[in-house]
Amino acid sequence: MIKLVRVDHRLLHGQVAFSWTKVLGTDCILIANDAVAKDSLRMSALRMAKPEGIKLVMKSVEDSITALNSGVTDKYKLLILIESVEDAHRLSEKVDVIKMINLGGAKLIENKRQISKAFSVSEKDCELLRKMNDKGIRLEIQMVPDEPAKDVMDLI
């Protein structure tokens, strides 16, 4: 069962590893990222950030879609981490059970504007967020579990 889908450019780090997994009761983290799936050094670094007792799986976005739709992940309380709004859109287009996406962190770079303390979007990101919203997916910005969530559509 998917407990949370989170967009965070840092993927797995302290906030996610400890705050979110504890609050959600997560027993498995799925990192859906094409670059990570091909980079053994990055995979090793991410394994070091994994909380003890929690399974960590790293797959490409397409392989993640296949796994999620096959039912093989149904036995887990799953936290899905993705790096970008674009990957969130790819995942949500092909995995119908995704009903909410949490936006946690996206750094401010050229051609992006800040919509919260830790999340920045491009025009393309805004377009994809609107498409996901139109599909009925709730989009929230929330850095940590104990802060109130904000509706992304009010910010873009």
Which is catalytic among the residues 9, 10, 13, 94?
Answer: 13
Sketch the domain layout of the chain as residue ranges: 2-154
Picking from 105, 86, 101, the residue whose alpha carbon sits closest to that of residue 13 is: 105
CA distances from 104 to 101, 108, 118, 121 (A): 9, 13, 7, 12
Does the annotation count 89 as an active-site position?
no
In tens, the pLDDT along 69-127 reads 999 999 999 999 999 999 999 999 999 999 999 998 776 677 888 878 878 889 999 99
pTM: 0.90
Q: Mention the CATH class of domain 2-154.
A: alpha beta
Tell me how crowded residue 68 is: count the other CB atoms within 10 A of its CB: 24
In whole angstroms, give the CA distance from residue 70 to residue 142. Answer: 29
Which residue has tokens 């906030």? 15
- What is the largest distance, in Å, between two alpha-carbon atoms of the chain? 41
Give me 106's structure tokens: 């996206």
Is the pLDDT higher at 148 or at 9?
Answer: 148
Which residue has tokens 């009010």? 154
In whole angstroms, give the CA distance from residue 131 to residue 9. Answer: 21
